[in-house]
């Protein structure tokens, strides 16, 4: 059953609607940045190191390339974690928008939504996953850099 909205309710709903628009902009920005992140990491981590190694070091059968290969694995895993992080970030924003829409609906209809708890849980999971994936991505990127430097030190 619909309830009569007060002036405060209407103002609050307007703020929530504006907040949804902001979250949508955040989604768009995250998706836009995804391509840039992949290009920067892949070109900076993989292409640069392969070009740098071949121009500085002659790799023979006696060259121990384990640290070099591990650095490339680190860069690759970093890319995968960044990709997954972007996906979880997008899903967290979508869950937050749905939760806010339910808040608006409950204000307008004076109804309690059982699905709201599920959305809050999903939001918390996606936010936690995004933070973890970002940290893992950074760790793998740094590991890749350190391993590449170690390879260069050993072979120059």
Residues 12-69 have pLDDT tens digits of 888 888 988 898 888 778 766 765 776 587 668 888 888 878 788 888 888 888 988 9
Contact between 115 and 102 (Cβ < 8 Å): yes
Sign, Cα dihedral of 70, 73, 74, 75: positive
How far apart CA 4 and CA 45 sit, in angstroms, is: 59
Which of 47, 121, 56 has the alpha carbon at shortest distance from 91? 121
In whole angstroms, give the CA distance from residue 2 to residue 107: 9
Per-residue model confidence as pLDDT tens digits over 93-107:
888 888 888 777 777
For 21, the token pair is: 């628009």
Q: Look up the pTM and report it.
A: 0.64
- Predicted confidence (pLDDT) per residue in 129-151, tens digit: 988 888 888 888 889 889 988 98
Helix 66-109 and helix 7-41, axial crossing angle in degrees, nearest 10: 170
């Amino acid at each position: 059953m619909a309830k009569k909205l007060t002036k405060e309710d209407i103002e609050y709903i307007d703020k929530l609607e504006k907040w949804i628009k902001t979250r949508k902009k955040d989604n768009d920005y995250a998706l836009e940045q995804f391509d840039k992140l992949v290009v920067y990491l892949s070109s900076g981590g993989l292409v640069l190191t392969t070009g740098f190694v071949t121009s500085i070091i002659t790799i023979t059968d006696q060259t121990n390339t384990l640290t070099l290969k591990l650095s490339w694995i680190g860069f690759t895993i970093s890319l995968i974690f960044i990709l997954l992080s972007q996906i979880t970030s997008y899903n967290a924003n979508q869950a937050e928008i749905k939760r806010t829409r339910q808040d608006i609906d409950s204000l307008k209809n004076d109804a309690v939504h059982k699905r709201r708890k599920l959305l809050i849980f999903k939001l918390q999971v996606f936010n936690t996953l995004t933070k973890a994936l970002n940290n893992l991505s950074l760790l793998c990127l740094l590991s890749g850099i350190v391993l590449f430097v170690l390879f260069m030190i050993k072979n120059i």
